[in-house]
Amino acid sequence: MTPSNALVFTVLPFLPRALSWGTLGHTTVALIAQNFISPKTVEFTQHLLNDTSSNYLANVATWADSYRYTAEGGFSSPFHYIDALDSPPETCNVDFGRDCPEEGCIVSAIANYTTRAQSEEVGLVEQQKALKWVIHFLGDIHQPLHVENLNVGGNTINVTFEGEKTNLHHIWDSNIPEKLVGGYAMSDSIAWAATLTAEIKNGTYAEEAGGWLQGLNGKDGIESAMLWANDANAFICSAVVPDGVDGVEGKELDGAYYDSAIPVVQLQIAKAGYRLAAWLNYIATGKVGLKGGYGVLLTSLCSLSGNLMSINAFLFKSIALGVQKD
């Protein structure tokens, strides 16, 4: 039996959701991942994507956003987010049973398409689609407003940014990253990815990066995706709406709010790229980890037998590290 091609999708009225992180964020996540994946994973992904160019992952990083607006791909629209029914800014959390409906969500989609990306039984075309979804969804799940229900993930919270009327979701997707970097061309993504990669290897994030992979379990995509979803969702309370909707509604956010958001955006893009690399390594090799001594050792999942968490804890202790709502 092959994994399902699409999680059951029921057409319901909903507000269109935004393109998480925009082009800049998604291509940067993919480029960071390229800097950490193993040689075998490079070979696997380039073969599957039929692309040996220098930006082979980045070239498909936004495919899922285009595909979901086609007649063929409309079923995938709910897979770009999960609507956490929490109560920010008092409480922030994601609960799979509570928040992921029968038609699916980003958490179940990551699990499903991870399995399909590994399966030759589904055919080359579907395996390629699955890989492209995984590349994209690993970016989406790190955008805080893609793991939050509040005001349709911030889409109905009207704000102003640099004098232009927009919404809260959009400024986190695009305005903040693009103002920070200066554009959204591939060259901008390449430069930003290089900066964040350096920070992961021997800069701001060097000491904490290994912890970003803690709990990674390729055999249980839902478990891993839920860790990432809750990690991102916590920023709803601490950074996105720390003073509630009234704290941002109708306000100009390109000043102090922008300044406080920059560290969160940088951190989440870095995490997404690093975790994507480790996840792609699992898809390609069946092993968890990254090259170059960063993060978890490459260890066969088959030998972990449910003890992944305790083994990871031992490894991290023993190894010194050198919305979608439119």
- Residues tagged active-site: 21, 26, 65, 68, 80, 136, 140, 146, 169, 173
Three-class SS of the chain: CCCCCCCCCCCCCCCCCCCCCHHHHHHHHHHHHHCCCCHHHHHHHHHHHCCCCCCCCHHHCCHHHHHCCCCCCHHHHHHHCCCCCCECCCECCCCHHHHCCCCCCHHHHHHHHHHHHHCHHHCHHHHHHHHHHHHHHHHHCCCHHHCCCHHHHHCCCEEEECCEEEEHHHHHHHHHHHHHHCCCCHHHHHHHHHHHHHHHHHCCCCCCHHHHHCCCCCCCHHHHHHHHHHHHHHHHHHHHCCCCHHHCCCCECCCHHHHHHHHHHHHHHHHHHHHHHHHHHHHHHCEECCHHHCCCCCEEHHHCCCCHHHHHHHHHHHCCCCCCCC
Whether residue 225 contacts residue 110, with contact meaning beta carbons closer than 8 Å, is answered with: yes
